[in-house]
């Protein structure tokens, strides 16, 4: 009984410390200099690579073009879907990125759908959304976030609870559960034989098996950088967890995301932990899985979903 009490007390203390630390990191990240200067060093050739990829999409191949961080342009049956738009640093919690985005938000091109997993500003950035194609339908995880995006001038905005679907521009979008320090959903995006699971920014969770059985994804985009506050639990998969998720999901193609962010604030650097070389580590682990192809595209690079 004594042991149980001690354990219980320790859990409570750890939880409270985690909440306090989380709040402090948010405050650090969102204070003064969160001015959205377009300060991300865009690789010289990334824009040209992106524009070439976009041209190639006109041929009608289903493909994923990596923009940067968790932002990807999916082409499914000719429909264009953008995931979790991030285009500016400093991003959430004083984050800066070592790669991407491939282009400026205003150069992302025509869009049919924008799928947003959660409210963190490296996934939902009002300034980036304001510069994207507002003819697109935005899909969000809650009515509150939907209202926020509608206020930016998007006419078509929907929110989906886990396992609810909608169809738009020939793409079936289903929200699926995710586990993060704020409310989040992932998405499965389907057109014909292509079934892409975009996990967002999630920790490992029990519904991965359900997603595998219900949707048999053909491709999965998984977060790998293992971001956490020291002493707190991990809210983003690390490379080993993401590789295990890839094994459970059984998709023939997997792609790491959320792998190029670094904290620059000295306090945050001490406190928040991000795994260096996470994408390479993930790729090496996935190489051990039979029949699974791992793509680690550069910003602007296109990965075909149905290679000939």
Give residues in contact with Zn ion (CB under 5 A).
120, 201
- What is the full DSSP assignment across the chain? -HHHHHHHHHHHHHHHHHHHHHHHHHHHHHSTT----B-----TTHHHHHHHHHHHHTT---EEEEEETTEEEEEETTEEEEES----BSBGGGEEESS--SS-GGGS---SEEE---S-TTT--HHHHHTS-TTSEEEESSHHHHHHHHTTT-S-EEE--TT-EEEETTEEEEEEE---SS--EEEEEEETTEEEEE--S----TTHHHHHHHH--SEEEEE-S--EETTSPP-S--HHHHHHHHHHH--SEEEEES-SEEE-SHHHHHHEE--TTHHHHHHHHHTTSTT-EE--PPTT-EEESS--
CB of 225 to Zn ion, least distance (A): 11
CB of 139 to Zn ion, least distance (A): 17
CB of 90 to Zn ion, least distance (A): 15
CB of 118 to Zn ion, least distance (A): 6
- Smaller CB distance to Zn ion: residue 201 or 301? 201
- Smaller CB distance to Zn ion: residue 235 or 282? 235
- Smaller CB distance to Zn ion: residue 201 or 260? 201
- Smaller CB distance to Zn ion: residue 53 or 83? 83
CA separation for the pair 157, 115 (Å, rounded): 10
CB of 235 to Zn ion, least distance (A): 7
CB of 307 to Zn ion, least distance (A): 31
- Smaller CB distance to Zn ion: residue 76 or 224? 224
Q: How far is CA 69 from CA 30, 55, 122, 194, in A?
A: 19, 22, 8, 22
CA separation for the pair 54, 58 (Å, rounded): 7
CB of 84 to Zn ion, least distance (A): 9
* The two three-digit tokens of residue 150, written as one number: 């509608």
- Smaller CB distance to Zn ion: residue 122 or 190? 122
- Smaller CB distance to Zn ion: residue 94 or 300? 94
CB of 51 to Zn ion, least distance (A): 29
- Smaller CB distance to Zn ion: residue 184 or 281? 184
């Amino acid at each position: 009984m004594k042991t149980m009490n001690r354990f219980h007390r320790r859990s409570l203390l750890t939880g409270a410390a985690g909440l306090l630390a989380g709040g402090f990191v948010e405050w650090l990240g969102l204070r003064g200099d969160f001015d959205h200067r377009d300060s991300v060093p865009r690789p010289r050739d990334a824009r040209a690579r992106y524009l070439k990829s976009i041209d190639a999409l006109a041929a009608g191949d289903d493909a994923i073009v990596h923009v940067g961080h968790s932002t990807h342009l999916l082409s499914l049956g000719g429909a264009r879907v953008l995931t979790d738009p991030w285009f500016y640093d400093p991003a959430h919690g004083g984050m800066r990125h070592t790669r991407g985005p491939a282009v400026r938000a205003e150069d992302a091109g025509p869009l049919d759908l924008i799928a947003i997993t959660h409210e963190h500003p490296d996934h939902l950035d009002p300034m980036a959304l304001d510069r994207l194609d507002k003819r697109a339908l935005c899909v969000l995880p809650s009515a509150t976030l939907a209202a926020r995006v509608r206020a930016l001038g998007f006419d078509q905005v929907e929110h989906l609870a886990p396992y609810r679907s909608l169809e738009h521009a020939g793409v079936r979008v289903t929200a699926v559960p995710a586990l993060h320090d704020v409310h989040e959903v992932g998405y499965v995006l389907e057109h014909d034989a292509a079934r892409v699971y975009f996990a967002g920014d999630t920790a490992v969770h029990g519904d991965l098996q359900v997603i595998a059985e219900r949707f048999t994804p053909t491709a999965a985009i998984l977060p790998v950088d293992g971001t956490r506050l020291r002493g707190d639990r991990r809210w983003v998969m690390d490379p080993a967890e993401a590789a295990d998720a890839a094994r459970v999901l059984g998709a023939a193609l997997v792609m790491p995301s959320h792998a190029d962010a670094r904290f620059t604030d000295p306090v945050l650097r001490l406190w928040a932990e991000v795994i260096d070389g996470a994408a390479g580590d993930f790729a090496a682990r996935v190489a051990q899985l039979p029949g699974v192809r791992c793509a680690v595209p550069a910003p602007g690079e296109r990965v075909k979903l149905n290679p000939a």
